Amino acid sequence: MQVSKLDEIYSLSSTLTCKEMTSKITDYAIQSQIENMEPSKYIDRFTGKAKNELVIYRSKCPLCDSKQFDFLFTKQGFDHILCNNCDLIFTLQILDHEKIKFLEVGKEGDNYGDYKSDAVVSDRDKKKYEIVFEELKKYSTINKIFDFGSNAGVFLDWAKLKNYSIIGHEYHDALRNGCISKGHTVLNDNLETIHLDEVDLITCWDYIDHVLNPKTMIENIGKYLKKDGLFFFAINNRDSLSARIMHERSPIFIGPHHTMHYGINQLNLLMKDYELLYSESYVSELNWISNWLNFKNAEFGDSSLMKDLLSPKKICELGMGFKVNAIYRKK
């Protein structure tokens, strides 16, 4: 995996303690609290598990269909499972969309939108887009883009400013309407059946772990990619050092909302009909890890970064940063 410029330029986690980092972001603490409390509404007080009447149980790995898997832990009422065949971590329960419209109206979506719109966060995101597009343009001419999981539209804003022709997609009503009010075209049709005009690039920023039937979705939207067109993903990395140390205490595991946890191997499996052109890892999360190793609150503690023990560069070189970017080309 490539060493990414992004760890130095984009990530705060290799240079600031969590306490310093969180104090820079408006209302970070209250947003974090809402995010952590929110999934409790799905929990049955008697069993401590997600309410049976709201969920569907998976009977096999949603990526490779194997029925051989092991229990890892329960978080926010959702059982987390490791597939013995493909190493995907997934939740056994998923919310039943027929019964609860969590994709459209969940408060957690509004909340994440606030976070992504914060000036400190969105300025860094814009630098990130510049660097990623330097790489993408090496492989194809890019004009038309389809972006799904558009969230508050920070990427749409940037792409429009750079004169790309971009269409977004966002199921969450408040987030989508926010994007539309900024002048963007943002769809909410089912991604497994949606029709699109041909595009040069499909982007997915930090969203693939929310997608419940990713194989069907990729098969469908991939049809609208031009020959030699590109798929770009930024993912939360299941192989990250922080997740591997902290397990269920890692923020990567959000009971009802992140139901499939990918590393590059699992993403390659999802994208088996595509060629992997480039991958890079960034965001060492050394501030969280240092707090954890010093018995401090992992998210808010002020432990100094243990750089003598763990080099942020090495963490990312080994593909163990919290984030992975990957570029695929249609075969």
Residue 303 DSSP code: P
Return the number of the residue (118 or 239) whose C-beta is nearest Zn ion. 239
Q: CA 99, 69, 271, 276: dihedral to nearest 10 degrees?
A: 140
Structure tokens at 104: 């459209």
61 binds Zn ion (CB under 5 A): yes
Nearest to 190 by CA among 171, 174, 175: 171
x/- mask, Zn ion, residues 87-116, rule CB under 5 A, reads -x----------------------------
Return the number of the residue (51 or 261) whose C-beta is nearest Zn ion. 261
Rg of the Cα atoms in the chain:
19
82 binds Zn ion (CB under 5 A): no
State the Cα–Cα distance between residues 85 and 87, nearest whole angstrom: 6
Beta strand 199-205 pairing with 144-148: parallel
Size of the site for Zn ion (CB under 5 A): 8
* Contact (Cβ atoms closer than 8 angstroms) between residue 56 and residue 96: yes
Return the number of the residue (83 or 156) whose C-beta is nearest Zn ion. 83
122 binds Zn ion (CB under 5 A): no
Structure tokens at 95: 């919310």
Beta bridge partners of 55: 95
What's the min distance (Å) between Cβ of 90 and Zn ion? 8
Return the number of the residue (10 or 69) whose C-beta is nearest Zn ion. 69
Return the number of the residue (61 or 145) whose C-beta is nearest Zn ion. 61
Return the number of the residue (131 or 269) whose C-beta is nearest Zn ion. 269
Residue whose token pair is 């018995």: 295
State phi, psi for 37 to the nearest 5 degrees.
-80, -30
x/- mask, Zn ion, residues 252-281, rule CB under 5 A, reads ------------------------------
State the Cα–Cα distance between residues 248 and 54, nearest whole angstrom: 22
x/- mask, Zn ion, residues 148-187, rule CB under 5 A, reads ----------------------------------------
Q: Which stretch binds Zn ion (CB under 5 A): 84-92, 108-116, 213-221, 291-299?
A: 84-92
CA distances from 122 to 173, 222, 232, 307 (A): 21, 28, 19, 27
Return the number of the residue (58 or 329) whose C-beta is nearest Zn ion. 58
What's the min distance (Å) between Cβ of 219 and Zn ion? 18
66 binds Zn ion (CB under 5 A): yes
Among 43, 83, 121, 156, binds Zn ion (CB under 5 A): 83
State the Cα–Cα distance between residues 325 and 331, nearest whole angstrom: 19
Return the number of the residue (94 or 316) whose C-beta is nearest Zn ion. 94
Structure tokens at 298: 């992992």
Q: Which stretch binds Zn ion (CB under 5 A): 5-13, 58-66, 114-122, 251-259?
A: 58-66
Among 16, 56, 64, 212, binds Zn ion (CB under 5 A): 64
What's the min distance (Å) between Cβ of 171 and Zn ion? 25
Strand locations in 102-224, DSSP E?
144-148, 165-169, 186-187, 199-205
State the Cα–Cα distance between residues 248 and 255, nearest whole angstrom: 10
Beta strand 260-261 pairing with 89-91: antiparallel
Q: Which stretch binds Zn ion (CB under 5 A): 53-61, 212-220, 233-241, 297-305?
A: 53-61
Residues in contact with Zn ion by CB under 5 A are 61, 63-64, 66, 83, 85-86, 88
